[in-house]
Structure 1
Amino acid sequence: MYLDNNSTTAVRHEVWETMSPYFQEYYGNPASLQHALGRQAAAALLQARTDIAAVLHCQKQEIFFNSGATESINTVLKGVFQRYALKGKHIIVSTTEHKAVLNCCEELQKLGAEISYLPVDEQGAISLSLLAATIRKDTILVCLMAANNETGALHPIQEIAALCQAKDCLYFCDATQYIGKLPLFLEHIPIDILCLSAHKFHGPKGVGILYIRRKSKPIQVHPLLHGGGQELNFRGGTQNLPLIVGMAKALTLAAEEGYNSTYIRELRDYFEQEICARIPASHIISQDVPRLPNTSMLVVEHLLATEIMSQLPHIALAAGSACSSASRAPSHVLLAQGMTIEKAKASLRVSFSMLNTADEVATLLALLPNVVERLRAQSPIWQLVQAGIIR
């Protein structure tokens, strides 16, 4: 039973059927316009770009294909820092950004970048007034995600974009968790740069998009990869056409189906209501701010999330971000929200998708409380809590 959809999602059958012919039948290089297979590939590439632009409500010339959000983040942070050095070296990020952003910023600091880390409150929300006060004349980039990958908390991207526009600095939005779960109309939100990965919305792994808005004063981003002039000379390397075609299909399906957000939210809300009623000393993180419809970060106090997961080996859950799972350290997101190390390590993420069912939620609700009760019965700490000696 798979409930770790913020880490990755299953490729939908329709997506696989769309992309599979491009591995063996229509395998031409889009740059090889001298023959029919190459021209056919170029046409498929253009159609994918057009379809994605239609979903995101932007121009197809604003879309650049790459390997995914991590590449986009490195491209933007390093590329903007290089191109805008004459204006300044100041970049603003939040303390709850993805590790790809935070680790890249650490590298840029070694090169002279000045990074301001915007704090969040206990719900994961930023202060727009503090952001406004933090932006300076030498601020070259504000990098704030649309939705947090661990808690699902949403940032007010419309207001952030408008603020950055008024302050004349670039806004880069990591929309990796947002796109495919909720609609986004780039013609109405003045986001300058945005990235996403296909595997978060039932597309294939290893492919993504970097969106760069076309403006009268062109946005300057130094390329990360130089090559044969692909992607309007911005990203070298032969395009991975099967994956790009699959990504376009996955995003188009998501939009046509209304992102299934009502159905997924109902699953999530039922789970949260029931699980907190059935497990004493448990609660949902970031429940009081706008969130993704599919994400629940559950704190089961006085237990380790890894202990719980080990007792449910047939259910795919997560203790924080998949990109940080190799680390034994508690979630930097939850610590930034003011949680103790103990509670951060007691946090379990459940993330749903359109492929999950009410029966699966019922199964989890039947199993998880029993596991928690059994583990707590063996815990001296829980006995002390029950006796009122500790809280």
Structure 2
Amino acid sequence: MSQAVLDGVRDLLPGLRERADEAERLRVVPEASIKELEETGFFKLLQPKRFDGFESDPIDFYTAVRDIAGACGSTGWVSSVVGVHPWQVALFSDEAQQAVWGEDTNTRLSSSYAPTGKATVAEGGYQLSGKWSFSSGCDHCSWVLLGGLVFNADGQVVDFKTFMVPRDNYTIVDVWHMVGLAGTGSNDIIVDDVFIPEAFTLSMGETGQCRGPGQEQNPSDLYKLPFHSIFTGTITTPIIGLAMGAYAEHVEMQKARSRAAYLGEKASLDPFAAVRIARASSEIDAAWALLVNNIREEQHYVSRGEKIPLRTRLKVRRDQVLGSQRAIDAIDGLFEASGGRALATGTYLQRAWRDAHAGRVHAANDPERALQMFGAHEFGHKVDPGMY
């Protein structure tokens, strides 16, 4: 079924590209695009089979995201971060899973994982309050996953959890006015003293150990992979897709371009132009190949019932942050070499340049932290595996 979904997504790409300007104008992905993606089954790629999902290979999911972003960066970004959430919901208690999908298996969730909320221990659960930013695609969702620190009665932090909150219990504040990823509708979420039952929470400490109560109902190897590998890949993949889309447009533009400053010489005959696209394509291919190879390596350990080595998990993050950088470097080089026409409103290149740099500032793309941890581990220093 995954191939059918991929084929369906590819059929949508011309339409998604045509709506890219509309997404920027609306500041959210058009409802028509979300509906079309839903009809292909895209949002169920990582969803458990018992809720009409496909439990697909993560690489199939990433491939679909890459292709979508190659048509429209904002749609690719929202598709990625909304489409990955069924993977985490599968780790929650069965009660929580039933609440989300029991009546409608098309239910979608957005998120904001930074622990900017505060939860206090209460009987049977927690009282949650706070404000969260950057919840991409929240207007298309009826639940949200929020990060929060848990405090006991003495005011001490005792856990870092993900809280699953239904739409009636939070407010969306429209604040998204941005120059990049402008169509993602990454608005603020506010929760005001709402009770969250224990069953609707997931400890990030447990998640970091590749465990969750939902594995009892969803025993697939898919749900035994590390959270921080799967989720950070959802941030890099749209950027790689943007680079692929920028590359394709740059090559077509250069084929048709004559440069007046060089007596009408065709740009495609410039040997330096050929070198530039060779370098850019290599960087893009390297970013994608490493992402795929690293997930495959983790799957190998899981399929054998073995614990994934910490070094492998750190390598995933090393190559993920560098993969984002490789893709952005490729876009920068292509944009700089494309001439003034690339600046025109409506071109994919200028939008990809803006969108990729917007994606670069996401916390998952903080290179120094990920690289420092990999290097520290290589030197034999202790690294907290819960973060990877």
TM-score by length of 2: 0.25
Give the TM-score of the pair, scaled to structure 1: 0.25
Q: Relative to total residues, which structure has the larger helix share, 1 or 2?
A: 2
Tell me which of the two structures has the higher relative contact order, counting C-alpha pairs closer than 8 angstroms and 6 or more residues apart.
Answer: 1
